[in-house]
Structure 1
């Protein structure tokens, strides 16, 4: 059987197993490859490539059956990708040559039929880029970080110009390694390059994911640095331009939540920043369209409390509605978690709710929340937080607003 004849192949563009399939040299195959390399599935695929369309929608069994009567080398390999029968592997290994043989060994390694990935030095381009990440993973397992980085860097350079979407995904993996060993600048650069490479393709889902990852890394590394917060804001907005609540609800919600946090960090409490805070409030409301107490408890709780805090400090012409909503959100958050799970967190929520109630003029409930919060702080020796509440309680008393119990 001959080796792989059509190059470049759309390897690594889509998730496995589709990302491991190859396109045979049938009529119209070159045009299909070009479209797939750009992340676009042609509306009209040749009948001989129906297997690929089925694989894209994760119908692996039907894709395998579509190849049943094809005797080409590519079909033998593709059937193994879709159904990696250990009894077939030795037979195919004797039949296939060159690029297909290397890919076959790679797939066999990925499914546990080989102890080590195949040598990548005898191949190039997208074939090498497909195999090299396996060498990187192998090096990582032995904590050989320099070797893992070198393997991925070579993989990126193999496909940067012939398969930018594949290169973008490899850069995402590279960024993860850099971030894991505290090479923050290198991680940022890898993700910036990845987003740029993904920008020329049709995989909006990939660009949204990469923009979100880059925004989150900028945000996590900012520590108050305004330039990184502004960059994070830019990437979160880019992620939201590339996705919708229908196409990827979890990514949509997380992008809105992270965007809100960035905006709030850029807008310290003050009347002049109210427009920014209103944008953050809107993003938090969007995230809560996805996050619910039943389906995403931790994310819902974080978004719920952040929204309550943002509403509490808002400067608007008629603040009562914001404050009333904040009190309700605090109530729901407090009711969802037992005090003993995180007493200090619980105390802070009570204190914030007490503050909102005070500004609403509900002084009896405000005093009750502040006293309960103070007791929690004292019990856990957070004397600074307790002292701040002492000041608030004294202010209530001094203004003649205390409620005697």
Structure 2
């Protein structure tokens, strides 16, 4: 048996495979654990290369060697009882624990295997991660995160990519639970440092994007954090190009825009940051499909309309009419019945843009409708803001009538 195994290094099925021993494996394994396949690939490991390259399952099976590792891998390809029993009869010690951990992930075992303290390295990390997923299934999120971090620590020195994948899972789970703090930032940074020499560009870009979102969520008016988020998003865009990853590209530009909008302004940067936000929102909308990404499309369109409405420009009137049209586009798909608050804000924003244009006869019905919905929802503050706008329009209409 090889002393080290590349479990958890490569994405997909290959991340579960075991490799049979070959001559000079010790010299190959360090770079393999960093994600680099040896060239040429040893004959005994051709099945592994086939899996990494996405060849059909049947082709991968053809290449499996008749070794204990080969039977373990056949169970990965076909998680059925007969293949489990065959692999079990040929494996021993830590690999038996690993087999049962995989069986649990395939819902063939009710509980993950217990593990001895002597279990070390990548196998210990895999089993600890399995216990983490079990904790998540029981909604024990804190325990699961702690187990993932322990697993990452157990394998960090020997399999940095596997460690980084475990840390990224822990970090994304924390973030999804709203546990956004400086420790989360450090988790993402540690994971990124572990993969900085690896060939996994997509993984690096995804982690960089996630780090950006963590900075953005934590910012709360902190200009430095917004700047760090923007740096992360621009770095991620170098990999997530619009021609290959249109959805990722659009999502990053959405976040870029929101960072620019939220960044505290000063006398020098207000106009520039608003212009950058508008540019990013336009880019996002070029690659968001209204039907497929409806919520994201609505959000980007509304944010663009809002940014245009308050942009300082020599084309203020053009911007305002474009904002009115964008609000109208969203109103065609957003219903009062499903989201009354969102609908009321949208109508109020459109009414405000119309009032800035002096189109009072169109603005007043919009603002009146918005005020009524806010009152029905018990949102007195928003209703008061709209009423103040209506009062301002009435005063302007009186002035005009006197001229």
TM-score range, shorter chain: 0.7 to 0.9
**Structure-2 separation of matches of 1:53 and 1:403:** 78
Which among 97, 110, 115 is matched to residue 110 of structure 2?
A: 115
Comparing 308-317 and 206-215, the one that deviates more: 206-215
Q: Does 1:248 align with 2:245?
A: yes
**Structure-1 separation of matches of 2:372 and 2:194:** 55
Deviation at 1:93, TM superposition (A): 1.2
Gap change, CA 1:183 and 1:281, over 3 Å in 2: closer
Gap change, CA 1:37 and 1:53, over 3 Å in 2: same
Which among 235, 242, 260 is matched to residue 257 of structure 2?
A: 260
Q: Residues 2-401 of structure 1: matches in 2 within 5 Å?
A: 4-5=1-2, 7-26=3-22, 33-40=29-36, 45-67=41-63, 70-118=65-113, 119=115, 121-142=117-138, 147-179=143-175, 180=177, 182=179, 184-268=181-265, 272-400=269-397
Deviation at 1:30, TM superposition (A): 6.2
**Structure-1 separation of matches of 2:349 and 2:266:** 15
* 1:42-75 deviations in Å (ceiling 9; x for gaps): 675444433223322444523443235x212322
**Structure-1 separation of matches of 2:111 and 2:390:** 68
**Structure-2 separation of matches of 1:193 and 1:379:** 49
**Structure-1 separation of matches of 2:264 and 2:9:** 39
Q: Is the 8 A contact 1:120 1:131 kept in 2?
A: no
- SS of residue in 2 equivalent to 1:115: coil
Q: Is the 8 A contact 1:126 1:158 kept in 2?
A: yes
Comparing 163-172 and 393-402, the one that deviates more: 393-402
Q: Is the 8 A contact 1:195 1:211 kept in 2?
A: yes
**Structure-1 separation of matches of 2:38 and 2:356:** 60
Deviation at 1:306, TM superposition (A): 0.8
**Structure-2 separation of matches of 1:107 and 1:343:** 47
* 1:202-257 deviations in Å (ceiling 9; x for gaps): 21111122122222223223333334333322322232233223443333222221
Q: Is the 8 A contact 2:71 2:83 kept in 1?
A: no
Q: Is the 8 A contact 1:288 1:304 kept in 2?
A: yes
Q: Is the 8 A contact 1:64 1:83 kept in 2?
A: no
**Structure-2 separation of matches of 1:167 and 1:91:** 30
Q: Is the 8 A contact 1:37 1:163 kept in 2?
A: yes
Deviation at 1:325, TM superposition (A): 1.9
**Structure-2 separation of matches of 1:128 and 1:234:** 36
TM-score (norm. length: structure 2):
0.87
- SS of residue in 2 equivalent to 1:311: helix
The unaligned stretches of length 5 or more in structure 2 are: none
The unaligned stretches of length 5 or more in structure 1 are: none
Gap change, CA 1:178 and 1:360, over 3 Å in 2: closer
How much is the aligned-residue C-alpha RMSD, in angstroms? Answer: 3.0
Gap change, CA 1:282 and 1:108, over 3 Å in 2: same
Gap change, CA 1:80 and 1:32, over 3 Å in 2: farther
Q: Is the 8 A contact 1:257 1:303 kept in 2?
A: yes
Comparing 306-315 and 80-89, the one that deviates more: 80-89
Aligned length: 399
Gap change, CA 1:267 and 1:318, over 3 Å in 2: farther
